Chain A
């Protein structure tokens, strides 16, 4: 599929071909095709239960989902053959819809462990606590946080909005090649949404790409997507440029669902 939005200039980063996946025996993804090039932002929209989050989880390698058919290439490599931690170390990042709390482990320690796991994988020297803190300061500021968040346990006692911001902090610190944001905008107030969107937007570079799973048009006014895809019943039923998002905002999803091809 090709979008109408923009010329394709970057290299192919992610290629999803006819992806089928099930959870607890139920088929959720029924043949997804998606090509993401470097420098691009793709928005995945669609009604509840259409498979948006499943797609995000499958790309990250959540063990609860079984891939029953299809292929995913990431930088030309078989992504589905890689363990979740290997995907992460190779630059695939998932901002969770429901971030998980880890009691007793500070945010700073968790972040540094993640950074060092990735650095080690790349053959780079691991960062000590002090060097790491220096690097962190600026990223914290970007999301409007002070350093007190670093000494709090990972997502433990965080509000819904704080958890989402924390995901974006991790995104900013880990600086992945492929960022998948799973409904990061849900549950954020307008100011928080702006901050989060601004941070994500600033991370856009010609050598990375973002897949944005969302329900709402709102975030797309801050992060302008190159492509918008509509998922319904486990398939992409329509792709287009950012104007498609606006159309969805006005008309809803039903007109597309009716148009979905039947197998």
Chain B
């Protein structure tokens, strides 16, 4: 295998710049006082502080989990700063007051938030370190009754909604990182789509870590009321730094009767350098509850960044006839490690789930698929289809698959397919013999491998995803 082929997938990280902006950072360390300070900065009501403190007290008693197939040195939770915000806090409805440096930053990242440059049909919430700096198209969305704002704002403006659903899918004591997030989360997005409304545009949040030695702990909550439909996109990046940075997010989705939520992620946190120095530890809890009859939650993720990824977006299929989907492409290069997959918990009758996972390992990357499909007693006629494919590029990387299946109802139908392939010299030669360059040949092969997942992404993101993998646009004729 020529190193040229590997180099093709190992694209240099293009988002590693630092924005020189004065920020207000809370001194490193975590205590009840720090949590109260964060809460106070956010102007939160008392119940929120209490919830955070409950989470913190639980977290203190919890051990850091180490069952994942990843290796890293101890994390010093007292060395992390839990709050960083650009000074000169903008007023939310006026972009005139947003620091031009911030606008410039997001523009450089391809996320224009200035009015005249906005992407048509995509509303964006831009989160910089610990705060949301701007949310576009809010008024337009409001006309349809759709609430799309920073979660810190939602806690103040829509406390009843937030209180009803926050922690209802991922409880504050769910796991070590979720508990930490519950204690210290700073910002993130809140979406509420009312009954019967089809959200008129794609909603999107872009997360940017900028400050050094900080962690990012965002929290996203999306509630789709009965018969509604929403598609949400999430993107992220961070500067190149030698030290590891922690990102521990929680995403909760709630779909009521016949509601549909489509959640897409392009995760491109800084992955560290070739020797494995620096990079983001991406320890994330994402879960959706299909609470209503015939509801549907679909996760699509393209994971190319982070030094370590620990992430299992799952679906709890409570409502009868509800549907859960998970489509994933995870790429590990250099010394990146990913342990990712999904959990599908079937509770209701006739619930269905689909899992399509594509792992690509190059360099010394280690890629693990870990998935749980659980069919509970009452889940009559539940069905699951799982497909896990791994592709190896070079001979120093690894691919691992850990499927867990737990079936407690004999009417369930389960299918599991798995494959491992190597980008072969013969494949490359075949494409070259037709006149394609080695780079185009690899792009094509990798792109073809990921196609089933890419086709699930909204158009704008599909293009971004392919580009991220160093892939020229497939634009298939067929």
Contacts and interface: CB of A to CB of B under 8 A. Distances in A.
Decide whether A and B assemble into one complex.
yes
Given A104-B450, A104-B452, A105-B447, A114 B435 contact: yes
A63 B435 contact: no
Contacts of A102: 427, 430-431, 444-445, 448
Contacts of A112: 477
A99 B430 contact: yes
B478 A151 contact: yes
B425 A104 contact: no
Contacts of A106: 476-478
B434 A174 contact: yes
B22 interface: no
Interface string A229-246: 000000000000000000
Contact of B477 (A61, A133, A170): A133
Contacts of B445: 102, 105
Contacts of B449: 103-104
Interface in A175-190: none
A60 interface: yes
Contacts of A64: 425
A150 interface: yes
B437 interface: yes
Contacts, number: 100
Interface in B421-478: 424-427, 429-438, 440, 444-445, 447-452, 474-478
Nearest to A153: B448
Contacts of A8: none
Contacts of B437: 85, 117
B474 A105 contact: yes
Interface residues of B, number: 28
A6 interface: no
Interface in A85-117: 85, 87-89, 93-94, 96, 99-100, 102-110, 112-114, 117
A102 B432 CA distance: 13
Given A110-B444, A121-B435, A174-B434, A129 B429 contact: no
B433 A60 contact: yes
A151 to B, nearest CB: 3
Interface in B315-346: none
B432 A85 contact: yes
Contacts of A100: 424, 426-427, 429-430
A63 B441 CA distance: 15
B452 to A, nearest CB: 7
Contacts of B475: 109, 129
B425 A105 contact: no
A109 B474 contact: yes
B444 A105 contact: yes
A61 B447 CA distance: 25
Given A113-B440, A129-B475, A150-B477, A88 B450 contact: no
**From A62, A107, A118, residue with most partner B Cβ within 10 Å:** A62
B477 A129 contact: yes
A88 B433 contact: yes
A89 B476 contact: no
Nearest to A89: B435
A115 B477 CA distance: 14
Q: Which of B427, B432, B437 is the most central at the interface, judged by chain A CB atoms within 10 Å of its CB? A: B432
A31 interface: no
Contacts of A133: 477
27 contacts: A61-B432, A64-B425, A83-B432, A88-B432, A88-B435, A96-B433, A102-B427, A102-B431, A102-B448, A104-B452, A105-B447, A105-B448, A105-B451, A105-B474, A108-B476, A108-B477, A108-B478, A109-B475, A109-B476, A109-B478, A113-B440, A114-B436, A117-B436, A121-B435, A133-B477, A152-B478, A174-B434
Closest 4 pairs between A and B when the two form their complex, measured CB to CB: A104-B448, A151-B478, A104-B451, A117-B435
Interface of A: 60-64, 83-85, 87-89, 93-94, 96, 99-100, 102-110, 112-114, 117-118, 121, 129, 132-133, 150-153, 170, 174
Interface of B: 424-427, 429-438, 440, 444-445, 447-452, 474-478
